[in-house]
Amino acid sequence: MVRPIASDMFGLGAREAVVAALAGDGSSFGTPAPVEDLVGALTRLGIDDVAVDGESLRVASADPLRSMRIELLALAHGWVTEDGAEGVVLRPRA
């Protein structure tokens, strides 16, 4: 660890951050990012069919790889995901 996680979300090195995301440990990523940041990150990955609904997002999810990418990206931004009738719903972690 580079710096204490509690004081700096960048306290993890790159490898450790990936392992934390894959392990589902969202506590290492600080407070939830603003909705605009998450939408921008999703767009950067080519996921641009995002519907903003107040403090939540809805994303169509057609395949397991896409769903996994959405889930990991949400986790790294301090958000949680749940499967909805029309795709994936993302909300800030409480």
Do residues 11 and 3 touch, judged by C-beta distance below 8 A?
yes
Q: How does pLDDT run across 27-77, given as a tens digit for each residue?
A: 766 788 899 999 999 999 999 999 998 889 999 877 888 888 999 899 888
24 and 39 share one domain: no
Q: Which domain holds residue 69?
A: 31-92
How many domains does the chain divide into?
A: 2
SS3 64: helix
- Model confidence, pTM: 0.77
Please tell me whether residues 70 and 25 are part of one structural domain. Answer: no
Same domain, 42 and 79: yes
Tokens of 62: 């057609």
Query: Do 26 and 41 sit in the same domain of this protein?
Result: no
- Check residues 75 and 8 and name the one with the higher pLDDT: 75
48 and 82, same structural domain?
Answer: yes
Residues 49 and 15 in one domain: no
**37 lies in the same domain as 66:** yes
Do 48 and 82 fall within a single domain?
yes
> What's the rounded mean pLDDT across residues 74-87?
88
Closest of 13, 15, 3, 25 to residue 76, by C-alpha:
25
Judge if 72 and 84 occupy the same domain.
yes
